[in-house]
């Protein structure tokens, strides 16, 4: 019986065509992921080379004036890329993974990024995560919507109900055959992706695979639940496509609009205005308040008095620091709002499996908003270390050759993604369990 079910399933041209399309889309997604990783890796390698070249070239022309030299010098801080990011690109294609900053005003530099074609950004990237979240459910719908209805419409269901001790068991066998084919396709794509993207076989990869498996099981449960309504094939197809559109587009878009409206970020513009006015206005103000503010921020530098001359680097960098200080309140509020957005998305995502899966794929790939905010926080600490190191050299007017410039190599920010398997799997398991219980109830009622 099982052999016959497998033979009938694989002989369907529609099934084979659908699986080939998803396979092709998966291969394209893997290729796009590889290109994405190669582009980031090439940028990182070029940055390491460029930084030393950049430092050497500027020292050649400004070796007598440390203040002027540090006005131009930039230092690289890199958000380390995990190969798993090739599976789900997330926001890594729009948020810069490399900060190339100087010791001047930080807020004017933090959000610099590469230029991208807005049409490409609108379309997004076809990665394996997209194929998993959007296309695999369509394939599952295509191969399961008529599990029962084809038997009824073909006139074989009454005969099957009479001859079989448990007709529902036959349906479960048919579902199992389709599940084996879908999971075999998923396994094939992962077997290709792991060596192509150079993904190490570790707990992170296993978490991605586990999340993918539970997500597909959820969709099988959805389809079997709709089948248990005992409607026609057309009715099942229409119902399942409606569920797919609702879960993949309408609900995520609605949730995004709700969160954006609930946590608006007017502080983004306010931050830009405050930090710009914070240091531009100081050109026309008395220098003493600027210096007092600077000394209050860095009391250890009070030993450097303001020189009695028209321009000094001590006052200039104090002015730059003042711009950051003036925007500090808006920066803190903006970060708080963005973190509230990320937290709200994950809370609501507990009830929307598609959103839950997409968000956690991005988290595991270190390509979500929380990763970027963590990178920006770490960039601030990196910037502060540079300032504290170079300020004494500037204020004491040392020459550039007194510094060991070869030690300034690009530094890296690394993050360990949250591998809380309870948070990863439990929402999907619970919703799938509820659907399975509803299926059992529907079939039990029919059989009785």
- Which tens digit of pLDDT belongs to each residue from 257-278? 999 999 888 766 555 655 566 5
Q: Where are the domains of the chain?
A: 1-262+352-448, 264-336
Count the Cβ atoms, other than its own, within 10 Å of residue 230.
14
pLDDT score at 117: 47
pLDDT score at 416: 80
Are 100 and 74 contacting, i.e. CB atoms less than 8 angstroms apart? yes
Asked if residue 14 has pLDDT above 50, the reply is yes
Count the Cβ atoms, other than its own, within 10 Å of residue 270.
16
Q: What is the radius of gyration, based on Cα positions, of the chain?
A: 29
DSSP assignment letter at 305: P
pLDDT score at 448: 47
Are 173 and 5 contacting, i.e. CB atoms less than 8 angstroms apart? yes
Confidence of residue 329 (pLDDT cuts 50, 70, 90): confident
CA separation, residue 171 to residues 378, 406, 446 (Å)? 54, 69, 14
Asked if residue 92 has pLDDT above 80, the reply is yes
Asked if residue 306 has pLDDT above 60, the reply is yes
Burial class (CB in 10 A: 0-12, 13-18, 19+), 345: buried
| Average model confidence (pLDDT) across the chain | 86
Asked if residue 113 has pLDDT above 60, the reply is no
Confidence of residue 115 (pLDDT cuts 50, 70, 90): very low
The whole-number average pLDDT for the span 286-296 is 89
The whole-number average pLDDT for the span 334-342 is 91
Count the Cβ atoms, other than its own, within 10 Å of residue 8.
12
- Which tens digit of pLDDT belongs to each residue from 161-184? 556 667 778 788 888 889 999 999
Count the Cβ atoms, other than its own, within 10 Å of residue 158.
11
Model-wide pTM > 0.75? yes
pLDDT score at 206: 95
Q: Report which of 45, 39, 89, 37 is spatially closest to residue 197, judged by C-alpha positions.
A: 37
pLDDT score at 313: 93
Are 193 and 33 contacting, i.e. CB atoms less than 8 angstroms apart? yes
- Which tens digit of pLDDT belongs to each residue from 390-407? 999 999 988 888 888 988
Asked if residue 346 has pLDDT above 70, the reply is yes
- Which tens digit of pLDDT belongs to each residue from 123-137? 457 899 999 999 999
Report d(CA 98, CA 407) in Å as an integer: 19
- Which tens digit of pLDDT belongs to each residue from 44-83? 889 888 998 999 999 988 888 899 999 999 999 999 999 9
Q: Report which of 149, 128, 179, 175 is spatially closest to residue 26, judged by C-alpha positions.
A: 128
Higher pLDDT, 375 or 115: 375
Report d(CA 9, CA 144) in Å as an integer: 11
């Amino acid at each position: 019986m099982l052999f016959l079910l497998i033979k009938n399933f694989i002989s369907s041209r529609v099934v084979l065509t659908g699986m080939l399309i998803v396979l092709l889309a998966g291969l394209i997604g893997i290729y796009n992921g590889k290109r994405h990783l190669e582009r980031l890796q090439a940028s990182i390698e070029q940055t390491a080379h460029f930084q030393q070249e950049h430092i050497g070239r500027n020292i050649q022309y400004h070796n007598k004036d440390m203040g002027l030299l540090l006005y131009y010098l930039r230092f690289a801080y890199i958000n380390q890329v995990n190969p798993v990011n090739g599976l789900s690109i997330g926001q890594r294609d729009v948020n810069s993974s490399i900060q190339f900053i100087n010791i001047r005003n930080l807020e004017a530099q933090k959000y610099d990024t590469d230029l991208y074609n807005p049409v490409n950004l609108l379309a997004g990237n076809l990665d394996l995560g997209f194929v998993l979240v959007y296309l695999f459910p369509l394939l599952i719908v295509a191969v399961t919507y008529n599990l029962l209805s084809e038997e009824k419409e073909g006139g074989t269901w009454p005969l099957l109900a009479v001859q079989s001790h448990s007709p529902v068991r036959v349906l479960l066998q048919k579902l199992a055959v389709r599940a084996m084919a879908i999971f075999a396709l998923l396994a094939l794509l992962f077997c290709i992706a792991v060596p192509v993207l150079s993904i190490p076989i570790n707990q992170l990869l296993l978490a991605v695979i586990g999340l993918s498996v539970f997500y597909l099981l959820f969709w099988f449960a959805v389809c079997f639940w709709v089948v248990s309504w005992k409607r026609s094939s057309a009715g099942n197809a229409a119902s399942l496509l409606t569920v797919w559109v609702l879960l993949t587009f309408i609900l995520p878009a609605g949730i995004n609009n709700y969160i954006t409206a609930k946590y608006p970020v007017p502080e983004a513009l306010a931050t830009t205005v405050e930090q710009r006015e914070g240091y531009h206005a100081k050109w026309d103000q008395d220098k003493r308040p600027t210096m007092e503010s600077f000394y209050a921020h860095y009391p250890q530098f009070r030993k450097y008095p303001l020189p009695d001359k028209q321009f000094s680097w001590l006052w200039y960098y104090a002015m730059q620091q003042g711009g950051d200080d003036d925007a500090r309140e808006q920066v803190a509020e903006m970060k708080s709002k963005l973190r509230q957005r990320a937290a709200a998305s994950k809370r609501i995502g507990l009830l929307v499996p598609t959103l839950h899966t997409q968000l956690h794929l991005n988290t595991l790939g270190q390509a979500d908003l929380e990763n970027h905010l963590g990178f920006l926080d770490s960039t601030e600490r990196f910037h502060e270390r540079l300032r504290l190191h170079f300020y004494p050299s500037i204020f004491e007017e040392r020459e550039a050759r007194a510094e060991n410039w070869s030690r300034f190599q690009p530094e890296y920010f690394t993050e360990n993604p949250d591998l809380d398997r309870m948070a990863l799997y439990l929402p999907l398991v619970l919703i799938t369990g509820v659907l399975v219980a509803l299926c059992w109830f529907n079939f039990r009622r029919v059989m009785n």
